[in-house]
Chain A
Amino acid sequence: MSKIEINNLTVDYIEKKKSFTALKNVSFSIEEGEFVSIIGSSGCGKSTLLSILEGINTATEGEILINGEPITGTGPDRGVVFQHYSLFPWMTARKNVAFGIKQVNKTATRAERYQLADGFLQKVGLEQFKNKYPSQLSGGMQQRVAIARALAMDTDILLMDEPFGAIDAKNRTILQELLLELWENATPRKTVVFVTHDIDEAILLSDKIVMMTANPGRVYREIRVPFDRPRNRAELVQTKEYTKFRNELLAMFYSDIVSKIGGEEVVL
């Protein structure tokens, strides 16, 4: 049995009395401990798909099974990192993490929660900033806190919705490597669903890439990433295999777009 099974998912929105199909018959599955990236141009429904996985939205048709059970709402088996606003601005970094812990572990005392929170903040390199409010932290630091909270909650599944999408290139690289290291070194490894529009990010991090296409949103290809772990970005990007694989993915990505705008004459 797969950890997550997405069966024939269709989502229709009604906007200004017009129905709009965000997802159409989306099906694929994710194994336990697998890192899966969902990638596609904007409007392909990748974030809609994730919001259903999170339990915030509901599907019009079809279902998502986790451990064989259909999702009915948010659940303590899933931790989430959004692109923005994951943290509560009125709580310090430490309190944000401790608050997350409190929701899944009702028996821990306040001191135990803080101790646990401090440990995870240290893992993401923010121990000196634990008493800062989110408004006093940079975007990258805020995402580190959000990741620390999601990890501290110790859920089986980690859902990440373009978590590094709003961060500058240099910090994005650092955060990708941090996430890679934390995920690869954990036992057992968590099941991660990672939404992105960055091909390099998807290759570096994932076991499998699900490429989606827009209008209506559906799965275009599922591609397994053939590189061994633990991965090292600097070594990986120098290999011929990487370049070849990346070019194939790009070709796939763009052939889809070209067919969408409908013309051979389009040069990308």
Chain B
Amino acid sequence: MNTQAKSPVSAAIAFDKKEKENSRLKSEFFRRYFRVVHILFAVLLLIQLLPDQLAAETYASYVIWFAVGVEVLTLVVSAFIKKPASLNLFVDIVAFIYGLLIAWVLATAKFNVLKAALFPPPGKVFWQFIGDYDKILTNIQSSVGIILQGYLLAIAVAIPLGLFLGWSARLGSAATYISKFLGAIPPIVYIPYGIALLPTFRSVSVFVIFLATFWPVLGGTMSGVMNVDKKTIDSAKVLNVGKFTMLFSVILPASLQQIFIGCNQGLTVSFVLLTSAEMIGAQSGLGYYIKNYSDFGDYTRTIVGLIVVGIVIVFISFIFNRIQKFLLRWKQ
């Protein structure tokens, strides 16, 4: 009796639940895959049907392939990303890229409202990028190699020295002033002297990047060490740590955040310096690539160079941030 009376009700509840679950899944599906970004993708493809106004080749197929690639990536990311906020961020960036490409295609290839010599259509830039791929890779290697060498050398010297100077009360205060003075000199003004001192462009660049990184990292490390909480030092002291352990297992991690501020500053300045230096005197590197082709009026390659520099810097900053986040993961 009892079960009979109950079952239709519970079945109805179960049905209701299933219905709700279905509609939830449906709306979840819509939220994931039905977005403005895909409309922009369609628009980008559709405008390719308009007739070209340019006499020269516009390489429209490269834009289409690029857009298809990005679209596939977007769909894959949409399927796998967990947090709605991250998905929104990714999709918004893609939408921005589509928007930019639409405007670019319309302004150049389709309506030709910009000066054709200065503003190549996007397809041509993609085509040039693929054509110059080897050359670009060599130039990236050259630039990044110089930066890494100067930068890592500077960090390897500045951090231990900063720890030592910051920890020694007397040397530390003098060193702070000295490093403030020497660090205030813009590293780029060392270039002429560096050229006189050192044999190759590469060694001069490494030297200048070394200086550009050395002072901020040294300063950051010293100020980090000097600002370590006395209580942290006391709790290490009562554990009877040795000098070496105190410096590298206690003081170093305790001042890590300040050290990273110096490292970050050094990295930013290093890029500015190297690309500028490459535009002045180099025979290789990304700065050279840009300067060289703009001298010949090849603005397609100039734009390729600009985009590549952007991508390289974003990529290196991304890795740097990952390392920083990992090493400071104990902070809330």
Is B229 in the interface zone, CB < 8 Å from A?
yes
In the complex, which of the residues A54, A56, A90 has the most CB atoms of chain B within 10 Å of its own CB atom? Answer: A90
Cα–Cα, bound, A54→B229 (Å)? 18
Contact indicator per residue, chain A 206-227, by CB within 8 Å of chain B (1) or not (0): 0000000000000000000000
Candidates B235, B236, B241, B253; contact of A90 at CB < 8 Å: B253
Candidates B231, B239, B249, B330; contact of A85 at CB < 8 Å: B231
Contact indicator per residue, chain A 68-81, by CB within 8 Å of chain B (1) or not (0): 00000011101110
B237 to chain A, nearest CB (A): 5
Contact indicator per residue, chain A 95-110, by CB within 8 Å of chain B (1) or not (0): 0000110011000000
Cα–Cα, bound, A91→B241 (Å)? 15
Is B7 in the interface zone, CB < 8 Å from A?
no
Contact indicator per residue, chain B 282-316, by CB within 8 Å of chain A (1) or not (0): 00000000000000000000000000000000000
Contact indicator per residue, chain A 17-40, by CB within 8 Å of chain B (1) or not (0): 000000000000000000000000
Is A135 in the interface zone, CB < 8 Å from B?
yes
Which residues of chain B have C-beta atoms less than 8 A from A133's C-beta? 329-330
A48 to chain B, nearest CB (A): 13
Do the beta carbons of A82 and B231 come within 8 Å of each other? yes
Which residues of chain A have C-beta atoms less than 8 A from B237's C-beta? 55-56, 74
Do the beta carbons of B231 and A75 come within 8 Å of each other? no
Cα–Cα, bound, A82→B232 (Å)? 11
Main secondary structure of the interface of B (DSSP, over half): helix
Do the beta carbons of A84 and B231 come within 8 Å of each other? yes
Name which residue of chain A comes closest to B329, CB basis: A133
In the complex, which of the residues A55, A88, A99 has the most CB atoms of chain B within 10 Å of its own CB atom? Answer: A88
Candidates A55, A88, A104; contact of B235 at CB < 8 Å: A88
- Report the number of A-B residue pairs with Cβ-Cβ less than 8 Å: 57
Is A125 in the interface zone, CB < 8 Å from B?
no
Name which residue of chain B comes closest to A103, CB basis: B239
Is B269 in the interface zone, CB < 8 Å from A?
no
Candidates A76, A82, A87, A91; contact of B240 at CB < 8 Å: A76
Given contacts A90-B330, A133-B330, A135-B330, contact A103 B232 (CB under 8 A): no
Given contacts A82-B235, A133-B330, contact A74 B240 (CB under 8 A): yes
Which residues of chain A have C-beta atoms less than 8 A from B240's C-beta? 74-76, 103-104
Is A41 in the interface zone, CB < 8 Å from B?
no
Name which residue of chain B comes closest to A84, CB basis: B231
Do the beta carbons of B238 and A74 come within 8 Å of each other? yes
Given contacts A133-B330, A135-B330, A135-B331, contact A88 B238 (CB under 8 A): no
Is B3 in the interface zone, CB < 8 Å from A?
no
Count A-side interface residues using an 8 Å CB cutoff.
Answer: 27
Is B57 in the interface zone, CB < 8 Å from A?
no
Q: Chain B, interface size: which category?
A: 20 to 34
Do the beta carbons of B330 and A55 come within 8 Å of each other? no
Cα–Cα, bound, A75→B232 (Å)? 17
Which residues of chain A have C-beta atoms less than 8 A from B254's C-beta? 88, 90
Do the beta carbons of A88 and B253 come within 8 Å of each other? yes
Name which residue of chain B comes closest to A83, CB basis: B231
Is B250 in the interface zone, CB < 8 Å from A?
yes
Is B332 in the interface zone, CB < 8 Å from A?
yes
Which residues of chain B have C-beta atoms less than 8 A from A87's C-beta? 235
Is A7 in the interface zone, CB < 8 Å from B?
no
In the complex, which of the residues B236, B240, B250 has the most CB atoms of chain A within 10 Å of its own CB atom? Answer: B240
Which residues of chain A have C-beta atoms less than 8 A from B134's C-beta? none
A37 to chain B, nearest CB (A): 20
B252 to chain A, nearest CB (A): 9
Is A8 in the interface zone, CB < 8 Å from B?
no
Contact indicator per residue, chain B 240-276, by CB within 8 Å of chain A (1) or not (0): 1100010001100110100000000000000000000
Do the beta carbons of A56 and B238 come within 8 Å of each other? yes
Which residues of chain A have C-beta atoms less than 8 A from B234's C-beta? 54, 56, 82
Candidates B229, B232, B238; contact of A78 at CB < 8 Å: B238
Cα–Cα, bound, A56→B235 (Å)? 10
A232 to chain B, nearest CB (A): 32
Cα–Cα, bound, A100→B236 (Å)? 9
Cα–Cα, bound, A206→B90 (Å)? 62
In the complex, which of the residues B229, B235, B236, B330 has the most CB atoms of chain A within 10 Å of its own CB atom? Answer: B235
Do the beta carbons of A100 and B229 come within 8 Å of each other? no
Which residues of chain B have C-beta atoms less than 8 A from A159's C-beta? 238
Contact indicator per residue, chain A 36-76, by CB within 8 Å of chain B (1) or not (0): 00000000000000000011100000000000000000111
Residues of B within 8 A of A (CB): 229, 231-232, 234-241, 245, 249-250, 253-254, 256, 329-332
19 A-B pairs whose Cβ atoms sit less than 8 Å apart in the complex: A54-B238, A55-B238, A56-B237, A74-B237, A74-B238, A76-B240, A79-B238, A85-B229, A85-B231, A87-B235, A88-B235, A88-B254, A99-B239, A103-B240, A103-B241, A133-B329, A135-B330, A135-B331, A153-B239
By Cβ-Cβ distance, the 4 closest A-B pairs, closest first, are A85-B231, A80-B238, A90-B253, A133-B330
Given A82-B234, A103-B241, 6 extra CB contacts under 8 A = A54-B234, A56-B238, A76-B240, A88-B232, A99-B239, A135-B332
